[in-house]
């Protein structure tokens, strides 16, 4: 088995950081669906702004609001306004890994999807 990138939300803008929340990262369900993330799924958060890296779990925020909120102790590492990458992984067989495509989600400054890549793009949509 190999552990492969399953989904990625690239260069999302952190909309809030709440030290007093129990924990996790709150994400707009539209982003979660596009990146194939489920509520309570483990994710890695990479802070482009300051280099911090952490592991937590995703929870759903309000649909369509572009929410990307860091909660709990992680708010010491990631702050409102930071740029982050949110990653999830999957264990796949050696055979599956040879044709594996993650779901890649690229967003704008309001965390609206501007482009999809990898498995998130249908073959007829692929850019050559």
Catalytic residue among 57, 89, 90, 97: 57
pLDDT at 122: 61
pLDDT at 125: 52
Name 81's Cβ contacts closer than 8 Å, sequence gap at least 6.
13, 14, 49
Annotated active-site residue 57? The verdict is yes
Tell me the whole-structure pTM to 2 decimals.
Answer: 0.91
pLDDT at 119: 81
Work out how many domains the chain is built from and give that number.
1
State how beta strands 2-13 and 53-60 pair: unpaired
Phi, psi at 111, each rounded to 5°: 60, 30
Q: Does 85 score more than 50 pLDDT?
A: yes
Query: Average pLDDT, stretch 99-120?
Result: 94
Of 125, 23, 34, give the one whose Cα is nearest residue 88.
34
Strand partners, 2: 92
Domain of residue 83: give its range.
Answer: 2-125
pLDDT digits (tens, 9 = 90+) for 15-57: 999 999 988 999 999 999 999 999 999 999 999 999 999 999 9
**What CATH number is attached to the domain comprising 65?**
2.40.40.20
Q: Do 115 and 106 touch, CB atoms closer than 8 A? A: yes
pLDDT digits (tens, 9 = 90+) for 112-127: 999 999 887 765 554 4
H or E element: which one contains 18? strand 16-18
Mean pLDDT of the chain: 94
């Amino acid at each position: 088995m190999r552990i492969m990138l399953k989904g990625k939300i690239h260069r999302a803008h952190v909309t809030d950081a709440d030290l007093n929340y129990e924990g996790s990262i709150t994400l707009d369900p539209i982003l979660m669906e596009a990146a194939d993330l489920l509520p309570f799924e483990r994710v890695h958060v990479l802070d482009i702004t300051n280099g911090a890296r952490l592991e937590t779990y995703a929870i759903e925020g309000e649909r369509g609001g572009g929410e990307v909120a860091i909660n709990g102790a992680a708010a010491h590492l990631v702050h409102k306004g930071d740029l982050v990458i949110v990653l999830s992984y999957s264990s796949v067989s050696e055979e599956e890994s040879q044709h594996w495509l993650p779901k890649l989600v690229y967003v704008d400054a309001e965390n609206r999807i501007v482009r999809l890549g990898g498995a998130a793009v249908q073959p007829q949509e692929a850019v050559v």
